[in-house]
Amino acid sequence: MAHDIQIIGGGLAGSEAAWQLARRGFKVRLSEMRGGGDTTAAHQTDGLAELVCSNSFRSDDSDKNAVGLLHHEMRRLDSIVMHAGAKARVPAGSAMAVDRDAFSAEVQRALEQHPNVTVVRERVDVLPSSGPTIVATGPLTAQSLAESIVSVTGQDRLAFFDAIAPIVHHDSIDMDVCWIQSRWNKRTEASNEDGDYINCPMTKEQYLAFHQGLLDGEKTEFREWEADTPYFDGCMPIEVMAARGVDTLRFGPMKPVGLDNPRDATPEFPQGRWPHAVVQLRQDNKLGTLWNMVGFQTKLKYGAQIELFRTIPGLEKAEFARLGGLHRNTFINSPLVLDRQLRLRGGEHVRFAGQITGCEGYVESSAVGLMAGMMAASELMGRDWTSPPRTSAFGALLSHITGDAEADTFQPMNVNFGLFPPLHEVKKKQRKEAYTGRAKADFSEWLDTLEAVPA
């Protein structure tokens, strides 16, 4: 099939861009190297939109949370990621989590069945010199293409490490020690009856021994060229957090507040009492057979992981479907090399989308892919592009990537209210609702200016 545009990379951003273009009548060649004899250090399948780290799209609260607001805006633009996420959703409290295999399969099914999309399993080594192109190769861009990007942009690559959390088989968890509860017993329509997290309690002595084990455990060795690469705070390896102080984990992924251990119930505390620390596991698939260790991204070697994580109460006999890992992420200096429509300066036929642009997170990557697809479609139709309002989640994220951030200090960023135009006149307790209320109103007005997309 002759194509109107090529998209390089079949991850979240590339899949979303392909969907938006195909729905608008454009023929898309979607090039994905996995399944064509190549893979990456983090992927395990050749499925489109494979989730390689957590299975969570984070908060789905669109009234008080910036990423939940981004969910809302994506749904209004008929996001394929949100459609597939709804079909593959698993309980996770107020968060949106999915069965990762079902999610990837649904995205791939929708794209492969669309008459305007051709998925080609091929590795692209060089940026195309002509023809509309979207590069959405993500943080694990193949070395050859990364070198081509560097040669064209004239800028050195920036990189950071991203760590992957382990996944445990449910039937290997000792539920006589652990219990199911959501923090503060918060529930949503997707929640399980008793709660959404398996909680493994620790006494002070157990926690201190575990903390020391994280510090002492054998770590993945750095290569010479990786030595000075910084971590992104949103995926900080747990042993790196542990090194910041003995109580850092107790105020982070292992915080016990809002979790009453029923095993410790007494007449004075009939609901139980708070442990010194808690390891939480979140459901990873619809069957409930796999659970991932929340916040436990790690660069410990496999043997050290198994030995240490089996000291966690309730996980003494844990069987791991996947152990933690570490991979290098690559992104471009977008404020310097991209224009406001995500086009490469000096090579405007090429757009970039997704994590390679310096956004961080599944949802943000998908959102930037969605926008890149809409921008490209507008250009192919010969229409002027009007960006979403700066007050919306889309507008705030795009503004950060394409110009608001300082190029000299540019780092990956999740969507957050710090990227939005401030509302200093609103009281702090009411500010989140004010941000989301303003965003929804302004985004609706922007949507009214767009032409309808065929069903």
Residues annotated within a binding site for FAD: 9-14
Tell me the Ramachandran region of residue 245: left when phi exceeds 0, alpha when psi lies from -120 to 50, beta otherwise.
Answer: left
Cβ atoms of residues 56 and 97 within 8 Å: yes
Residues written for the chain: 455
DSSP state at residue 342? S
Count CB atoms within 10 A of the CB of residue 429: 7
Q: In this structure, which long-range contacts are made by residues 260-268, counting pairs with CB atoms below 8 Å and at least 24 apart in sequence?
A: 260/181, 261/179, 261/199, 261/201, 262/179, 263/177, 263/179, 263/201, 264/201
Cα distance between residue 246 and residue 259, in whole Å = 21
Tokens found for residue 433: 């609702």
Angle at 301 (CA atoms; ends 165, 210), nearest 5 degrees? 70
Which residues contribute to the annotated binding site?
9-14
In the block, which residue shows the tokens 């109460």? 313
| Strand ranges of the sheet holding 89-90, from the earlier edge strand across to the other edge | 56-59, 95-98, 89-90
Cβ atoms of residues 22 and 107 within 8 Å: no
Tokens found for residue 429: 């307790």
167-169 and 290-293 strand pairing: antiparallel
